[in-house]
C-alpha cells in the first residue's frame, strides 16, 4: 500500500480523492481545497500494485475491467483532478509519476511497415461504422474540429475546420489533390464541392473505403472524387495539393523521413501541402501504454521539432505553422458526451467493457489537451519558396469564402 500512497500523494495536490481499499478502509488524498470530492473503490490488492507500477496502463485496465468503481464524481472528474494538478506548463513532480511505465524504445525502434500499418489501422477503424456514427458529426470527421467559439456545435466546428484547412491549401479549380488518410471521405468531397478540384483519397481501412465510395457515388462526383485502399508509400504521380488530416499520428517516428520524402516526390514543384496532426509540446513523448495497447497500436505523437527537421531533410519548406491548443479538448468533450448518451447502443454493438475502454480513451484525451502534453499542429509545406503569395491574406479571404459556401 505504501507504493500507491506515495503515487497518489505526488499526484493529488489539489481537491480531494477518497480511495476505498479492498478491506473497506478509506484513504484520503489532497488538501480538499474546494471542488467536488472524488470517491473510488478498488476491488483487490493486485489492482493497486498494477496501478503503482504503471499508473496509466494499470488504472485504464482496472477501470475497463470493472476493478475500479467511481462512486462519487465521474471518470473525467477524476482525470481532471489528477492531470489538472500536474499541468505540462507547471513541470510538477507529479508529471514524472504520471509517466511511470512509458518506454522510449517503442517510439524509437518499432517499424510500421505496410503490413503492420494495415493491421494497426484495422484494429481501430474497422470495428464498425455504426459505432462512429453514434458520436461523430454527420460528416464523420474523426479529427480535431476548429472552434471559432467554444459554444459552437460540433457540426459547425467541423465545417469550420474544413474551411480553415482548405484556405491554407490555396486551391484553384481543376487542381489535382491527394488526401492521405481520407477517412470516410468527408474532406475530399468538401474540397471538390467548394473549390472545384479533383481528389484522390487513400486509406488503409476497408470500412472507411466502402462508405467513402458510396458517398461519392451518391453525390454524383465519382468521376472526380476517387478513393483507393492503398498505402501512401505505394503511390506515384504528381499532385498540385496534398492534405493529410489525422493520419500522421500512425506513421511512426522511424518513418518520418520516408513520409516527407514521399510527399515531396508526389507534390508538384509549385505545390502546397497541409499536414494536420496531434502532436506534443516540447520534446516528442513516449507512447501512452494504454492507448498503444488498446486504441492506436503503433502510434507516435510528434514534436514540432521532429516534424520540421524531417521535412527539412526532404527539402520541404514549412511555410506556416499553427498550434491548436484547446480545440481538440472541445472536440473530445462532445464525442464523450455523445458516447455516454449512447451507452446502451454501444454496449449492444460491443459490450460494457468496450464502452468503459472507449470512455477512458476519450476522457484521457480531454485532460491531455486541457492540461497535458498534447496539442494539434497544422503545418503548411511547399517545395518552392515562391509557391505561395508573399503574405497570408489569401488564407483569410478564402476561409471566409468557403464558410459562406457552407
**pLDDT tens column, 213-235:** 999 999 999 999 999 999 999 99
Beta strands in 181-314 (DSSP E): 198-203, 225-229, 239-245, 267-280
Classify residue 302 by its DSSP letter. P
Three-class DSSP category at 116: helix
What mean pLDDT is predicted for residues 179-184?
A: 98
* pLDDT surpasses 60 at 381: yes
297-350 per-position pLDDT tens digit: 989 999 999 999 999 999 999 999 999 999 999 999 999 999 999 999 999 999
Look at residue 92 in the predicted model and tell me its pLDDT.
78
Look at residue 97 in the predicted model and tell me its pLDDT.
67
Classify residue 141 by its DSSP letter. -
Look at residue 293 in the predicted model and tell me its pLDDT.
94
Distance between CA atoms of residues 339 and 52, nearest Å? 29
End-to-end CA distance of the chain: 57
Mean pLDDT (the chain) is 93
Centroid of chain to Cα 281: 14
Of residues 137 and 12, more confidence is placed in 137
Is 2-101 a CATH 1.10.3470 domain? Answer: no
Of residues 165 and 117, more confidence is placed in 165
Q: How confident is the model at residue 105 (pLDDT cuts 50, 70, 90)?
A: very low
Question: For the whole model, what pTM was predicted?
Answer: 0.94
CATH code 3.40.50.150 region(s) in the chain: 107-405
Report phi then psi at 90, rounded to 5: -85, -20
CATH code 3.30.1050 region(s) in the chain: 2-101
Nearest to 262 by CA among 240, 228, 233: 233
The fold of the 107-405 domain, in CATH, is Rossmann fold (3.40.50)
- What does the block give as the cell for 293? 495497447
- Taking a C-beta distance cutoff of 8 angstroms, is the pair 213, 227 a contact? yes
Amino acid at each position: 500500500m505504501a507504493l500507491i500512497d506515495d503515487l497518489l500523494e505526488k499526484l493529488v495536490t489539489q481537491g480531494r480523492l477518497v480511495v476505498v481499499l479492498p478491506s473497506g478502509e478509506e484513504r484520503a488524498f489532497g488538501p480538499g481545497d474546494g471542488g467536488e470530492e472524488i470517491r473510488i473503490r478498488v476491488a483487490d490488492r493486485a489492482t493497486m500494485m498494477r496501478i503503482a507500477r504503471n499508473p496509466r496502463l494499470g488504472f485504464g485496465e482496472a477501470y475497463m475491467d470493472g476493478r475500479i468503481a467511481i462512486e462519487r464524481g465521474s471518470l473525467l472528474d477524476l482525470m481532471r483532478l489528477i492531470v489538472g494538478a500536474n499541468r505540462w506548463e507547471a513541470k510538477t513532480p507529479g508529471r514524472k509519476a504520471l509517466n511511470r511505465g512509458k518506454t522510449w524504445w517503442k517510439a524509437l525502434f518499432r517499424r510500421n511497415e505496410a503490413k503492420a500499418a494495415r493491421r494497426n489501422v484495422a484494429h481501430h477503424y474497422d470495428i464498425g461504422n455504426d459505432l462512429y456514427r453514434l458520436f461523430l458529426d454527420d460528416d464523420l470527421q474523426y479529427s480535431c474540429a476548429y472552434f471559432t467559439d467554444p459554444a459552437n456545435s460540433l457540426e459547425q466546428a467541423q465545417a469550420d475546420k474544413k474551411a480553415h484547412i482548405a484556405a491554407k491549401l490555396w486551391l484553384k479549380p481543376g487542381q489535382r489533390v491527394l488526401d492521405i488518410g481520407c477517412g470516410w471521405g468527408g474532406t475530399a468531397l468538401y474540397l471538390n464541392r467548394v473549390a472545384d478540384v479533383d481528389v484522390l483519397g487513400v486509406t488503409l481501412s476497408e470500412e472507411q473505403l466502402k462508405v467513402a465510395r458510396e458517398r461519392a457515388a451518391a453525390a454524383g462526383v465519382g468521376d472526380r472524387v476517387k478513393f483507393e485502399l492503398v498505402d501512401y508509400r505505394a503511390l506515384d504521380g504528381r499532385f498540385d495539393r496534398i492534405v493529410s488530416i489525422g493520419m500522421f499520428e500512425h506513421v511512426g517516428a522511424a518513418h518520418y523521413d520516408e513520409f516527407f520524402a514521399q510527399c515531396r516526390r508526389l507534390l508538384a514543384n509549385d505545390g502546397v501541402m497541409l499536414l494536420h496532426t496531434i502532436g506534443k509540446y516540447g520534446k516528442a513523448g513516449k507512447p501512452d501504454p494504454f492507448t498503444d495497447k488498446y486504441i492506436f497500436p503503433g502510434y507516435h505523437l510528434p514534436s514540432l521539432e521532429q516534424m520540421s527537421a524531417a521535412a527539412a531533410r526532404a527539402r520541404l519548406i514549412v511555410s506556416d505553422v499553427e498550434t491548436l491548443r484547446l480545440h481538440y479538448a472541445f472536440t473530445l468533450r462532445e464525442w464523450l458526451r455523445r458516447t455516454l448518451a449512447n451507452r446502451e447502443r454501444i454496449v449492444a454493438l460491443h459490450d460494457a467493457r468496450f464502452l468503459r475502454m472507449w470512455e477512458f480513451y476519450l476522457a484521457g484525451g480531454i485532460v491531455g489537451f486541457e492540461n497535458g502534453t498534447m496539442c494539434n499542429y497544422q503545418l503548411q509545406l511547399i517545395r518552392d519558396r515562391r509557391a505561395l503569395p508573399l503574405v497570408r491574406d489569401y488564407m483569410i479571404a478564402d476561409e471566409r469564402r468557403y464558410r459562406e459556401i457552407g
